[in-house]
Structure 1
Amino acid sequence: MRISIAILTFAAAISLFISGAGASLAPASFGFPTIVQMANSVAWNQDTANAFSFEDVNIDFGGMPFSPGVCLAFPSIQQTSIQCQSVSHTDFAQTNEFAAAAFPFVGVGMAGLPGFGFV
């Protein structure tokens, strides 16, 4: 019994000299925040034009009396023109844009915005 009382007394005396462990830690953050912007655009355009032209000319002089019993004859002229035109046009455009910005984000202590030089 004396030995157990001596051991308990010795343990109680040693426990008075042992202080608790503690630390004062500073806030820290690590990483690379990234700002990313992506844009995509597509444009498609189609147009069609049609033209039609019809022309007809007929000139007939017939006979012109020159003297009794004599007629002068001139040639008859006839011309027909048909024109047709069709035009089609198509456009296609596509753009892709990507932009990213990153900065080192490491802070130890009371740094408000680490990586930007603010304290």
Structure 2
Amino acid sequence: MNKRTILFISDFSRALLIGLLLLFLWTDTVTSIHLIVLAALFGISDAFSYPALNSMVPMLLPAEHLQRGNSIIQMTGQISPILGPALGGSLIAFIGFTGVFTTALVMLFISAVTVLLIRLQEEKEVMEKTPRLC
């Protein structure tokens, strides 16, 4: 399956799940069962996102920028567990849970639409450009 399609479906489905959670919050009907099911579905969708994204990097960057691009992705992956909770807690204090989830919903929709605009190189071209280790 096309990596771009997988990433789009993952982003879009996570946005829909957050939208469903927002609906439960606005109607004041959220229960622990809702949270458990939504978290499980979100995790399943999220599990497809990272492999698709990481495998797209060689198709997006020229070979001479591949090492730099991978290092930036790894750096953000290391920083986000530290900054994410701090930023999330601050946002919850300022705009509340509904505001945070609305922001996440909008960001995931923007991400899904942006993914549709990505034009990938053919895998054969990428294999020809990628330096060989042997």
Normalization by structure 2: what TM-score?
0.17
Instruction: Return the structure number with greater helix share.
Output: 2
Normalization by structure 1: what TM-score?
0.18
Instruction: Return the structure number with greater strand share.
Output: 1
Structure having the higher Rg: 1
